[in-house]
Structure 1
Amino acid sequence: MKIEPKDPLQASTQNSTETTQSRPTLRTVFLDRDGVINRKMPEGQYVTSWQHFDLLPGVPEAIARLNQAGLRVLVVTNQRGVALGLYTAADVDAMHTKLQRVLSVSDAHVDGFYFCPHDKHQCNCRKPLPGLFEQAKKQFPEIEPATSLVIGDSLSDIEFGHNLGLQTIFLEGDESHRQHQKPGASKAADLADRRFPSLPDAVDYLLA
C-alpha cells in the first residue's frame, strides 16, 4: 500500500520555480541490499555466497529504469557476517560482480557498491553511521544529501538517511519478507518519508 508523500520528490525538473528551489532534483539513489535487491535471510542467517542470493522479482528492470532516468544507483549494505567469519570481503565482492552480470542482461547496472564488514560498535561505516555515504562521496564528490534518497527495509537504513538529511523510502516486502524483518521495522515505516511494498513500486513512484 502506498503512503502519500509529505513532500513529493522530483525525478525531473518541474516548471514551477518555487517547487524546484524547495525540492532539488533527485540525482542519487542509495539502495540497501538484503531485503531490497535480494530476499533477506531469516534473522541471524546471512547470504554467504551467490548460491543463497535470491534476486527479488522485478529488481533488474527497476534498476534499469533508474539508470535510464539518469539517476546514480549505489548499494550500501552492512555485512556483519564478514566480521563473524562466515564469509570474506572477497566473497562479498564476488557476489556483487555476479550481480552486475545478471543486471546487465536487463541493461541495468549499479554505479558503486559499498559495504561495512565490521561488527557492531567497531567502525564509522556500519549503518546508521555515515561512513558508507562518505565512501560514496569520495568516489562521486558531486553527491549531495539534498539530491539523494535511500531505499531500505530496516530501521538502520532509514536512520542512516535521516541522519544525513536524505529522503527515505521504507520497503515493506511481501509476507515472507515481513516474517524476517529486523526489530524496529514498524518504527522505520513510521519514520520514513514514504513506504512501498517493493523496489519496483518505489521506482514507479519516483519516475511517475
Structure 2
Amino acid sequence: MKRMQFGKRTCVFLDRDGVINKKLPEGQYITRPEQIELLPGVVEAIRTLNQAGCIALVVTNQRAIGLGLLSEMGLAEIHEHLRLELEARGARLDAIYYCPHDKNSCHCRKPEIGMIKRAFQDFPDASANNSILIGDSISDIEAGRRAGIPTIFIHGDPANQKPGAEKAIGLADAKAHSLLSAVNQFIFSNP
C-alpha cells in the first residue's frame, strides 16, 4: 500500500467517535462528558501530530443535537472535557468542528464538506493538498473524497461499525486498526 508522507503544515482531520474515543453502539449517542473514553494510543498519536507541527482538527457529526438528545452547551462541555483530558496528557486538538443537524438538512454534515471548508478558512496554511482525513465511517471517507483529501479508514470495534463500513474500506486510500497505527504506518513512516 502506498505510503503517505506529509510535511510541515500538514492538516489532519479526525473523526471523533470511533477514532478518538470509544464509539457507542449504533443509535446511541454520547450525551455526557464522562461517557468520553479515549481509545488506546490516541494520546500518543495526537501528541505525535502536535510534535510534528501538524494541525489536528476534529470534524464530527453530532446528530444527537438535531434529535433533541443533547444541547449545543452540553456538547461544548463534552468537548471541553475531551480537550482537557488530552491536554493533561500532553496532546492538543487545534479545533473541533461539529455538525448539529439531522440527516439531509444542511451542507456541513459529513459526507458534505462544510466543516472541512470552514477549517480551511480558519487555518489558511491547510489545504486539500496537505491534508488527510481519518475516519471510521462511509460518511467520513466520502467527505474526504469530495474535498479532494486522502483518507484512512479506521477499522475500530467491529461490533460498533456503522453500516457502509465495507464500502468505506474500499473507497479509502488506506486502512488501519487505530489512530496510532494510522499515524505510525502512513503519516510518519519512511517510504
Q: TM-score range by the shorter chain?
A: over 0.9
2:5 to 10, 26, 45: 10
- Deviation per CA, 1:149-203: give whole Å up to 9, x if none: 0000000000000011001000011xxx211111100010111000000001011
Matches within 5 A, 1:154-169: 154-169=137-152
Q: Alignment length, in residue pairs?
A: 188
Say whether 1:186 aligns with 2:166. yes
Unaligned runs of 5+ in 2: none
**What is the aligned-residue identity percentage?**
48
Code of the aligned partner of 1:191:
L
**Normalization by structure 2: what TM-score?**
0.95
Unaligned runs of 5+ in 1: 13-24
1:152 to 135, 138, 151: 135
Matches within 5 A, 1:1-208: 4-5=1-2, 8-12=3-7, 27-173=10-156, 177-205=157-185, 206-208=187-189
Q: Could you list the runs of 4 or more consecutive aligned residues of structure 1 that deviate by over 6 angstroms after TM superposition? A: none
Contact persistence 1:26–1:149 (CA under 8 A)? no
When the two chains are superposed, the root-mean-square deviation of aligned CA atoms in Å is 1.1
Contact persistence 2:9–2:125 (CA under 8 A)? no
Code of the aligned partner of 1:183:
P
Higher gyration radius (CA): 1
Q: Distance in 1 between matches of 2:188 and 2:73?
A: 35
Tell me the CA shift for residue 101 of structure 1.
Answer: 1.0
**Normalization by structure 1: what TM-score?**
0.87
